[in-house]
Chains A and B, each alone.
Chain A
Amino acid sequence: MQASATNYEAIEYYRERFGIRRAVLPRVLSLAQVEHTIAHTQCEIEVFGYGSLCVMVEGRCALSAFATGESPNCQGVCSPAKAVRWEPLPDGMRTRLNGFLIDEFHGDERPGYPTLCKGRFAVDGATYYALEEPTSLNTLDLLPDLLRIGVAAIKIEGRQRSPAYVAQVTRVWRDAIDRCAATPQAWRPAPAAHAELDRLSEGQSQTLGAYSRPWR
């Protein structure tokens, strides 16, 4: 079961009461907030670095439980495979989650795994990604900052992925981390590493997520 801690008071509570040694932060904090959190806890901090971008607060999202009765917070996983239906269309695919129509793909569109947050919905007469564009998180460019502020581990999202995908992504990241740690000042992401991660990402655009908030 997933707990939820977004700040150091919560992390310290879990550490004092349950002796936790590492906390994974949700993908909603800015880099400065992550740094501030690390500075105020004795707990190791792990952050999401690469993979699908969940805009919801991990451990708090109620969408999957609403649709399927299961979620990582209460029991099971987000959008469990047994609730997923892929319905072929003459020129594409329709995806459902526990009967709910999540999305419809035509022609060259690549069907995505149906989670409620990444569905296209009709709102005020327009059909679009009402909750979240299906972008991928890629923090490779932030690696020197993540190392500098004391992040203990970078989490690569690998759920519902093939072993081949996991092997490729982790190889790129391991190499980048080792090189960056050796010469943090001089390190720049290798174009080849970016190219490989681009190829492996969900096929859509990539983002730094909440870590970078230039609009603030």
Chain B
Amino acid sequence: MKLALGPLLYHWPRQSVLDFYADVADAPVDIVYLGETVCSRRNELRWPDWLEIGAVLAQAGKEVVVSTLALIESEADLRLLRKIAAQERFRVEANDMGAVRLLARRAEGPPFVAGSTLNVFGPRTLAHLHARRAGWLRPNCRAKRSAR
């Protein structure tokens, strides 16, 4: 079984992010999810920065996946999404159905990952995505908790 590192959810200063992924290159993980998934107003790192980090990690033998934003609001967000969907260097994790639309259109390139912020709660949804070239699913674990 492989070990995967999810996308960084924190808003860290640029240098901390770069240092973190430099360490990850040496860490015993097989798959690394990269990119901003939480907020489009964070700009410590830009798309070319993520591509560069991805290249270094790939060089170190990691399988790199680029994760898309969970909440896409503006045309600027969509422009970045189209850029990510158009590149075929790295596999893409789709975190909203807009990303699924763009990635499902591609006939070539690696299959995409159905991300944890997609509402996949049953086998029929999973089968629908699988038929549209979703290679695998990163599920959202929403375990029932109780205070008692």
Contact = CB atoms under 8 A, between A and B. Distances in A.
Nearest to B41: A216
A14 B147 contact: no
Contacts of B73: 6-7, 28-30, 33
Interface string B74-117: 11011001000000000000001111111010000000000001
24 contacts: A1-B119, A1-B121, A3-B97, A4-B96, A7-B73, A7-B78, A9-B101, A10-B97, A10-B100, A10-B101, A12-B101, A13-B98, A13-B104, A17-B128, A36-B75, A57-B71, A59-B119, A60-B119, A65-B142, A67-B145, A71-B142, A96-B147, A99-B147, A100-B147
Contacts of B66: none
Contacts of A13: 97-98, 100-101, 104
B148 interface: yes
Interface in A47-68: 57, 59-60, 62, 65-68
A2 interface: yes
Contacts of A3: 97, 119
B96 A6 contact: yes
A138 to B, nearest CB: 22
A184 to B, nearest CB: 27
A10 B146 contact: no
A23 to B, nearest CB: 11
**From A28, A96, A98, residue with most partner B Cβ within 10 Å:** A98
Interface in A101-144: 101
A7 B98 contact: yes
Given A7-B77, A8-B98, 11 more contacts: A1-B121, A2-B119, A5-B98, A9-B72, A9-B102, A62-B142, A65-B142, A73-B119, A74-B119, A74-B121, A98-B146
A17 B124 CA distance: 14
Interface of A: 1-10, 12-14, 16-17, 28-30, 33, 36, 57, 59-60, 62, 65-69, 71, 73-75, 96, 98-101
A28 B121 contact: no
A16 B102 CA distance: 13
Nearest to B125: A1
Contacts of B144: 65, 68-69
Contact of A7 (B72, B119, B140, B146): B72
B70 interface: yes
Interface of B: 70-75, 77-78, 81, 96-102, 104, 117, 119, 121, 128, 140, 142-148
B117 A60 contact: yes
A14 B148 contact: no
A7 B121 contact: no
B101 to A, nearest CB: 4
A101 B147 contact: yes
B124 to A, nearest CB: 11
B118 to A, nearest CB: 8
B121 A14 contact: no
Given A9-B101, A29-B73, A98 B147 contact: yes
Contact of A6 (B72, B75, B140): B72
